[in-house]
Amino acid sequence: MAKFLLSLHVLVSVLFIGPVAVAVSMFPARARAALAGGPDLASETGSVRVLHRITQVYAMLGLAVPVLGIGLAQVMGVLGQPWLIVSMVLTALAALSLLLFVLPAQQAAVDALGPAAAAEGAPAVEGAPVAVAGTADGAGDQERARAVQGLRLLPMTAGVFNLLWAVVVVLMVIRPGSSTGV
């Protein structure tokens, strides 16, 4: 049973945490390009939306990783080991950094792009409502400025998220002080 749970735990972590790590790393550059405008605005906006969606969906799916990990630790009898407790704390910190810093900054960038930017490169459909980002009082400009400000810290917070997961992986492999002999 332990080998099955270990295999499932590793597989789920690769398939669900890996895409989040890649998406949070790619997002800041794509968001900067989209917020700057330019000839590829529709493409960049689409990329930003897809990367944000990947982060959201796979982060939710990634909740299976610690759940399986705790089940595996119980089966293996290592739930009280210091390396595992440190790993659980680091996993919680990674989740909090994603929830409190990365996802809100990504959402601000997506919101600042507004529905108009996504449709800018698309052909107009007769009778379809026209989406307008912002209002005459400059609310769109303020939203865009907040998004750009949030993008300044996003590469760092994405890096912290990825670094925390990397440390957890190392702890899972070397398991310092473990008495399991694996």
Would you say 145 and 108 are in contact if contact means Cβ atoms under 8 Å apart? no
- Confidence (pLDDT) at 129: 37
In 3D, which of 90, 112, 109 has the Cα closest to residue 160?
A: 90
Q: Is residue 127 part of a domain?
A: no
- Whole-number mean pLDDT of the chain? 85
If one counts the domains in the chain, the total is 1
Residue 177's pLDDT band, with cuts at 50, 70 and 90, is low
- Cα–Cα distances (Å) from 102 to 20, 30, 99, 155, in that order, read 11, 14, 6, 9
pTM: 0.81
Q: Is residue 19 part of a domain?
A: yes
Q: Is residue 179 part of a domain?
A: no
Would you say 9 and 65 are in contact if contact means Cβ atoms under 8 Å apart? yes
Question: What's the mean pLDDT in 73-102?
Answer: 95
pLDDT in tens, 125-170: 344 333 434 444 466 677 777 787 878 899 999 999 999 999 999 9
Q: Is residue 6 part of a domain?
A: yes
- Confidence (pLDDT) at 139: 63
Would you say 82 and 177 are in contact if contact means Cβ atoms under 8 Å apart? yes
Q: What is the domain extent for residue 93? A: 2-120+136-174
Q: Is residue 129 part of a domain?
A: no
Residue 180's pLDDT band, with cuts at 50, 70 and 90, is low
Q: Is residue 157 part of a domain?
A: yes
Q: Is residue 63 part of a domain?
A: yes
